[in-house]
Structure 1
């Protein structure tokens, strides 16, 4: 490994102050990085997005590390896990699932518990549907789409608009048109993101402190665009194959999450799913109600790790 990369790794560990170990896996298109916290039963931790930094779920990984070995993956196309080339041939759902296989093989783990938030939950479910024998349990937090459809997308957007004040909706629409036309700047983009994010949290007065946590580090928008395009291309629809996975699924969701309807839809597909709700929280209950969330997470995980 080249010295500049090694220095970057060491600096990253020093800055976070929590990662007990940062390691990587060599594969044909580069390195796949992951962080290890704690010891014991391994829990694979997948952040949202797609394209968000793994740091968005670092606090959850640290909470889990009190009793388990948390493996926080820098998904391909985020953080240090930059593939070459960086295009649709390397950023797609199949490649993301291949990386999870690489990770398990590297860790010498045949079956693991997967924790996933939002997009991370989508990826975890996709992996379980395609490799059911490699997943012992799914613990999902505010899962995103279980399939791509115009109706679900419309519900999603309308739920966001319903959770914004009239002036915020006007501002959001105005900025959206400006950015789409290519007339916006970085400040416009940042303000647009902040305005949209207001809809994802319960306590609007916390938006600025929540933004720091939600962003974690800069989102890789190219990764996001490439992955979303691939999900559309493959007609992503877990309702068709999630039944391949017979293991337990537990969902923890914020009561005020505008995406909570996805959780209810999943419950229809898999009636055996166990649901737990966090009051006074939107799409990020681990930030808005950290104490209640961590307590519920550890309680749920104590059952999940018992499955063979």
Structure 2
């Protein structure tokens, strides 16, 4: 296994999948809390943290499968944040017998088309490349990060984002392989019991994603007051307690 990973705690296995332009530090305030009850696995996705760069199109679902096989984990709880939630959902549809519960924190969704505003934001980031400092500034100055950037976790998010934006310069491709047919057309097939967590100050697009997830037969929603796209940093205690409560039901 060439991906960097860490394991802490004992019990039922919980695998945490991080946000884009992040790494396993996305969970450093949450993993120790979950590890009091569960075996918690965090890892750096390909191209992030201490894992190898992307040299061919990313297949994050298969990377996750290989990690679980390497750790001899047949059945796990998956917790995914943003693109990590997109990976977790795709995985749960591809390998339903391997996922016992699903927790999605402000997840992406395969096949979802982002609004022109979000696409323009991405274009603005690319327009200032390869100036690393400006790219991070444009990314984190977006309203979706307004809470975390005015919080005590400001330095934490800047450091992690800068590290992983710099890592992206090593990539040979930015192509990513997602579920086909797209998960957006298959949400009603998702049989895994699911918890969907989102901050009330997150982007409008992700509330549209939340509406789409209402098709999932067994899903519960939690809306966090005063949280933006990074509740893993600013509302770690609440996210942890919501997860534990959901898993203990």
Pair in the same fold by TM > 0.5? yes
Residue number in structure 2 paired with 1:92:
58
- Contact 2:187/2:213 (CA < 8 Å) preserved in 1? no
CA distance in 1 between counterparts of 2:95 and 2:191 reads 11
Q: Is 1:212–2:156 an aligned residue pair?
A: yes
By how many angstroms is 1:38 displaced? 1.0
4+ residue runs over 6 A deviation: none
Cα displacement string for residues 9-46 of structure 1 (whole angstroms, at most 9, x for unaligned residues): xxxxxxxxxxxxxxxx2xxxxx1221011111110110
CA distance in 2 between counterparts of 1:203 and 1:117 reads 15
Residue number in structure 1 paired with 2:226:
280
Q: Is 1:241–2:156 an aligned residue pair?
A: no
By how many angstroms is 1:203 displaced? 6.6
Residue number in structure 2 paired with 1:154:
116
- Contact 2:9/2:40 (CA < 8 Å) preserved in 1? yes
Structure 1 residues 214 and 263: CA distance shift in structure 2, 3 A: farther
Residue number in structure 2 paired with 1:295:
241
Residue number in structure 1 paired with 2:127:
180
Match for residue 67 of structure 1 among 37, 42, 53 = 37
CA distance in 1 between counterparts of 2:103 and 2:79 reads 5
Structure 1 residues 201 and 67: CA distance shift in structure 2, 3 A: farther
RMSD (CA atoms) = 3.0
Secondary structure of 1:201's counterpart equals helix
- Return the index of the structure with the highest Cα Rg: 1
- Contact 2:23/2:160 (CA < 8 Å) preserved in 1? yes
Secondary structure of 1:274's counterpart equals strand
CA distance in 2 between counterparts of 1:106 and 1:130 reads 18
TM-score, length-normalised on structure 1?
0.69
- Contact 2:148/2:230 (CA < 8 Å) preserved in 1? no
By how many angstroms is 1:191 displaced? 2.5
Structure 2 spans left out of the alignment, 5+ residues: none
Q: How many residues of Structure 1 are paired with residues of Structure 2 in the alignment? A: 244
By how many angstroms is 1:225 displaced? 8.8
Secondary structure of 1:81's counterpart equals coil
Structure 2 matches for 1:1-308, cutoff 5 A?
25=1, 31-49=2-20, 51-82=21-52, 86-88=54-56, 91-93=57-59, 96-149=60-113, 152-154=114-116, 156=118, 176=124, 180=127, 185-196=131-142, 198-202=143-147, 205-206=150-151, 209-213=153-157, 215-216=159-160, 218-219=163-164, 220-222=167-169, 226-227=173-174, 229-231=175-177, 237-258=182-203, 259-267=206-214, 269-303=215-249
Higher helix share: 1
Structure 1 spans left out of the alignment, 5+ residues: 1-24, 26-30, 161-171, 304-308
By how many angstroms is 1:180 displaced? 1.9
Q: Which has the higher contact order (CA 8 A, sep 6+)?
A: 2
- Contact 1:54/1:74 (CA < 8 Å) preserved in 2? yes
- Contact 1:200/1:282 (CA < 8 Å) preserved in 2? yes
